Homo-oligomer: A and B are copies of this chain.
Amino acid sequence: MARKPGSRAEITGPRLRDAALRLFARDGYAAVSMRQIAAEVGVQAGAIYLYTADKQTLLFELMQDHMDALLSAWADSTPPLGDARARLQHFARFHIRFHAARADAVFIAYMELRNLTPENFATVEALRKRYETELETILRAGQDEGTLAVPDTKLAAMALIAMLTGVNTWFRDGGRLSRDRVEQIYVDMVLKAAGARA
């Protein structure tokens, strides 16, 4: 039977995700124990298994949810109808904003890939690839229509994503540069690296 709001079950589930996300991001999957996660939620270790099959599944679902959120946010982002140069600018802006808002999940999603079982890795990797292809499609269109100039679209897609995702390794709110300023600079560098006409 369904419990009333405020009963424990409706709190522990989401809190487990949050705690695992934060701890995995801070200390790494292998270094965080189920007992630590449980303590963070305010529960004994055994209780966790009411909400996840095992530690591996917990990690996998965090990563899968992140990638799903990324792809569906991109799908909802209504790119401009203009040329590929404008769409590349839109992509760069979207990428930085989305990733800045979820630093923990981003960090996990590419630091903990090697801790996934082969099956889980393949699933997450496929989602990552789909996102990469979105950028590559823009680059190829720009190459074709002449608004962008990249020697190799596949390689450029990976290089640009690496550069953009790199923001997360150093950016902190309240630093020397504002979030908007950083975004502006990165977008500018991406456009130049992709050979966009000035």
Contacts and interface: CB of A to CB of B under 8 A. Distances in A.
Interface in A4-48: 26-28, 30-31
A186 B159 contact: yes
Interface in A148-198: 150-152, 154-156, 158-163, 165-167, 169-170, 176-177, 182, 184-186, 188-190, 192-195
Interface size on A, as a range, is 35 or more
A111 interface: yes
Number of copies: 2
Contacts of A163: 159-160, 162-163, 166, 193
Contacts of A117: none
A165 B166 CA distance: 10
Contact of A185 (B115, B151, B167, B189): B151
